[in-house]
Structure 1
Amino acid sequence: MSQSPAVYGGQAVIEGVMFAGRNVNVTAVRRKNQEITFYEVPRSASSSFLKTVKKIPFIRGIVGIIESAAKGSQHLTYSAEAYAEDETDPQEAPAEKPKEKWNLTMILGVAVVGVLSFLLGKFVLTLVPAALESLLFGHAFQNRILHNLLEGVIKIILLLAYLWGISQTPLIKRLFQYHGAEHKVISAFEAGLDLTVENVQKQSRLHYRCGSSFIIFTVIVGVIIYSFFSWDSMAERLLQRILLLPVVLGVSYEVLRGTNALRDIPVLRALGYPGLWLQLLTTKEPTDDQVAVSIASFNRMRELDKQVNPV
């Protein structure tokens, strides 16, 4: 009679959290007047072709990234618009309207940076370290594996510096707190606990299935995959990185799934530690109010999911 709990995911948005259910995606946002408002988007049924593709290892990860980016942009837009509306003085003269629109654009840009806008961010994080390593060490030695390792080190340094830098801004710090609240709610649900603020706050803000873990795995997997290929110039090396990017993403997704599946095995759970370490930067401890928003989003998603499919 008992069923294994469903696997849910989500993401932090500006002053809120989005959770993805089987049939609906729900964002809850804390407004300036302390009211919690919801943005609910039914999930459209996938075509038979897409359902088949999602079952194919190494390919399903690419499809998931594209779907996640499209889904997340809708909810980020909603939260950014709500934030801009709350921060806009209702007495502003019409002459200020262009500035308000610019502020919304700025907020959206910062929010996208905060959740590591994957497609653009991964492209930059792939090409810049390769170019830097070629410039600094390209003629120092011939060992391709060592070049790849140095490229990986540069990539990790840039990633950590970038995350630390943006985490110093108040808006991104709060975004990372909501990221922690999202993880805590999922962990409490997976542990079978009642979703109260007290129970949720006892959970870790780190989670094996996080997109932040996925990013660090792409660095590690990339070093390994790139070692099977050689290049004769920087241009060839950069082109190779672009062509191999889908392969790196697909393999990294499977590694992430594997580490999550093995996390209850004492020896093998260490495979997921690099991703958890990165989450020390991409999550912060949330306040009780932020946890309450995350719980509200999760409960509303579950409620709507049951209305569509009560079984």
Structure 2
Amino acid sequence: MSAAKTVGGQAVIEGVMMRAKDNLAIAVRRPDGEITVELRPWFSMTPEFMKKPFLRGFPIFMETMVNGVKALNYSATQALDEEEDGELTSFHLILTMVIALGAALGLFVVLPHFFSVAMKWWGVSGDVDSLSFHIWDGFFKMVMFLGYIVSISLIPDIKRVFQYHGAEHKVIWAYETGGDLEACRIKNFSRLHPRCGTAFLLFVLVVSILLFTVLVPMVVAIWAPESFVLKHLYIVGIKLLLMAPVSAVAYEMIKASGKYENSPVCKVMCLPGLGMQYLTTREPDEQQIEVALAALNKAVAAGSSDADGGHC
């Protein structure tokens, strides 16, 4: 797979956002059945010196969040037939991101830590510098992640988003492998993709478990408050700070999995992420694939004209 043929995407409300180089396109199926497509420049907040391996992960993650939230908001205005001036202001965008990040860190970093503290109180775990504590911490991270995915998948509107997620993957596979860009043929491609954001989140969890298991005992050995409460608040703060390098490492892993997808090692690395996508994607219908294809064509056509779709 050549770098020039690599695109990325995201499912939105009744549609798909596709990115090709410095452009993104958001295609949404409106209530009247029409597909509307919006072309925008990719908002970048990553300075040139931060685009190096193991530096780029966290800032790219942040700018992906910004573009993703803006795409979701736009799709909501189109799918619900609202005025476009109802989109988020800069203030509301920042507030939304802060709330989303806070909720994610609280759910997958803070709560698992204090659940593991409870295991120590019950006598089935050692202190924070022991391996058993971090085994419990990793266990609770995975349980909460799986529980979250399963819970939201039961919501009818999220099921629709997961179908568009599957359509996004199928269209990307067809484009990157040089297949026919026709909805009736694209549906035969897999709805699973190794560069999916679900796989990235799973890599983040795995890397955080391994990194915390090694680094937290080292930090505690150097210095930690005497007070039990302050000690654990201090450690949670260290974990939150470490999420930046954790996301950087996870990003390089997801990049490697796409670049060396035929490598036996990468295939093994991708298996858990691909397995998770059975939960976060659903088989789309041809109309949903048409929406994803419209987004792809618009994004790619902004820089080239080699992605024109056809009809069966």
The answer, yes or no, to whether TM exceeds 0.5 is yes
Are 2:270 and 1:272 equivalent residues in the alignment? yes
Distance 2:248 2:106 in 1: 15
Choose from 211, 222, 244 the match for 1:225.
Answer: 211
Between the aligned partners of 2:180 and 2:21, the Cα distance in structure 1 is 21
- Distance of 1:184 and 1:30 partners within structure 2: 18
Paired with 2:111 and 2:3, the residues of 1 have a C-alpha distance of 43
- Counterpart check, 1:283 vs 2:254: no
> Aligned partners of 1:184, 1:134: CA distance in 2, in Å?
43
- Which of residues 147, 154, 158 in structure 2 aligns to 1:161? 147
Q: Give the aligned residue type for 1:80.
A: A
Mean CA deviation greater in 241-250 or 255-264: 255-264
- Kept in 2, the 8 Å contact 1:15–1:30? The answer is yes
TM-score, length-scaled by structure 2: 0.82
Q: Residue 118 of structure 1: CA displacement?
A: 5.5
Q: Deviations over 1:143-176 (max 9, x none)?
A: 6222212211111111111111111111100001
In the alignment, which residue of structure 2 is the partner of 1:135? 118
Name 1:258's counterpart in structure 2. 256
Report the residue type matching 2:17 in the other structure.
Answer: M
Contact 2:174 2:180 (8 Å CA) reproduced: yes
Decide whether the 8 Å contact of 1:181 with 1:286 is kept in 2.
yes
* Post-superposition offset of 1:117: 4.8
Conserved 8 A contact 2:166-2:284: yes
Listed as ranges, the matches of 1:65-80 within 5 Å are 65-80=61-76
1:1-311 aligned at under 5 Å gives the runs 5-43=4-42, 50-54=47-51, 56-85=52-81, 117=100, 120-137=103-120, 139-142=123-126, 144-228=130-214, 229-230=216-217, 231=220, 233-306=231-304
Deviation at 1:194, TM superposition (A): 1.4
Distance 1:275 1:117 in 2: 22
- Note the C-alpha offset of 1:199: 2.1
Two-structure CA RMSD over aligned residues (Å): 2.8
CA distance, structure 1, for counterparts of residue 257 and residue 20 of structure 2: 22
Q: Residues 242 and 43 from structure 1, CA distance in 2 versus in 1: closer, same or farther, beyond 3 angstroms? A: closer
**Contact preservation (8 Å) 2:39, 2:298:** no
Deviation at 1:64, TM superposition (A): 0.7
SS at match of 1:306: coil
Greater CA drift, 208-217 or 135-144 = 135-144
User: Within 2, Cα distance between the matches of 1:287 and 1:80?
Assistant: 20
- Give the distance between the partners of 1:3 and 1:273, measured in 2 at CA: 22
Aligned pair count reads 281
User: Cα deviation per residue 1:158-198 (whole Å; 9 max; x = unaligned)?
Assistant: 11111111111111000011011101111111111111112
Counterpart of 1:52 in structure 2: which amino acid? F
Counterpart CA distance in 1 for 2:289 and 2:198 is 20
Normalized against structure 1, the TM-score is what? 0.82
2: CA distance, partners of 1:137 / 1:187: 47
Shift of 1:4: 5.6
Structure 2 residue runs of 5 or longer lacking an equivalent are 225-230, 306-312
Q: Against the structure 1 CA distance between its residues 80 and 3, is the aligned structure 2 distance closer, same or farther, given a 3 Å change threshold? A: closer
Contact preservation (8 Å) 1:61, 1:253: yes
CA distance in 2, matches of 1:263, 1:303: 26
Percent identity of paired positions between Structure 1 and Structure 2:
32
Q: Distance in 1 between matches of 2:177 and 2:57?
A: 26
2: CA distance, partners of 1:172 / 1:155: 22
Displaced runs of 4+ in structure 1, greater than 6 A?
none
